[in-house]
C-alpha cells in the first residue's frame, strides 16, 4: 500500500464550505513504498488530497500531466507529487528530494488512488458528512 492514513478527524471543522471540508477533514498520512518512507504528516488534509487525486486520475493517461498537490493547507506546492517515469509513474515529495516510490504502472497507481478515495469517502460518511463534495470517478 502506498497511501495510508490513521487518526481520521473532523475536530477543526467549523463550516460546510468546500474549503472548510478540504482543509479540516484530516488524518495522519503516510506515503510509503515497502520500507521507503516517502512522506509522513500529522493532520494532513486527506479529503482535499483524495478529491484532487481522483480528479487527476480521471484524465486520460496520455493527456495527464504530472500531479503536483497544490493544497490550501500548505505554502509549498508538491508535498505530494506523481511524475511520469519510464514505464509508469513515481510518487515523491518536494520535502524529501531524491526519495520516491518505485515505478508504478497505471493499473496499480489507479488502484491505490481509488482505494484512498474510497477510504476517505467512507470515513467522511461515517462522520455524518455527505461525501458529495469529493470528486467521484467519472466526475472530473
Q: Quick count: other Cβ atoms within 10 Å of Cβ 126?
A: 10
List pLDDT tens digits, range 79-108: 999 999 999 999 999 999 999 999 999 999
CA 119 to CA 96: how far, in whole Å? 25
Give Cα separations from 28 to 40, 65, 103 (angstroms): 8, 27, 24
Check residue 135 and give its pLDDT: 78
Q: Are 72 and 78 in contact (CB under 8 A)?
A: no
List pLDDT tens digits, range 14-34: 988 999 999 999 999 999 999
Which cell numbers hold the place of 115? 482505494
pLDDT exceeds 50 at position 140: no
Q: Are 82 and 67 in contact (CB under 8 A)?
A: yes
Amino acid at each position: 500500500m502506498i497511501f495510508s492514513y490513521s487518526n481520521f478527524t473532523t475536530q477543526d471543522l467549523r463550516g460546510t464550505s468546500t474549503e472548510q471540508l478540504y482543509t479540516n477533514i484530516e488524518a495522519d498520512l503516510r506515503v510509503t513504498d515497502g520500507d521507503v518512507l516517502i512522506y509522513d504528516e500529522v493532520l494532513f488534509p486527506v479529503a482535499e488530497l483524495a478529491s484532487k487525486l481522483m480528479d487527476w486520475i480521471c484524465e486520460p493517461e496520455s493527456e495527464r500531466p504530472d500531479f503536483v498537490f497544490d493544497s490550501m493547507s500548505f505554502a509549498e506546492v508538491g508535498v505530494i507529487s506523481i511524475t511520469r517515469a519510464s514505464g509508469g509513474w513515481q510518487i515523491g515529495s518536494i520535502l524529501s528530494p531524491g526519495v520516491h516510490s518505485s515505478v508504478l504502472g497505471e493499473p496499480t497507481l489507479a488502484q491505490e488512488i481509488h482505494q484512498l478515495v474510497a477510504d476517505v469517502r467512507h470515513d467522511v460518511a461515517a462522520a455524518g458528512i455527505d461525501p458529495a463534495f469529493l470528486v467521484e470517478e467519472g466526475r472530473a
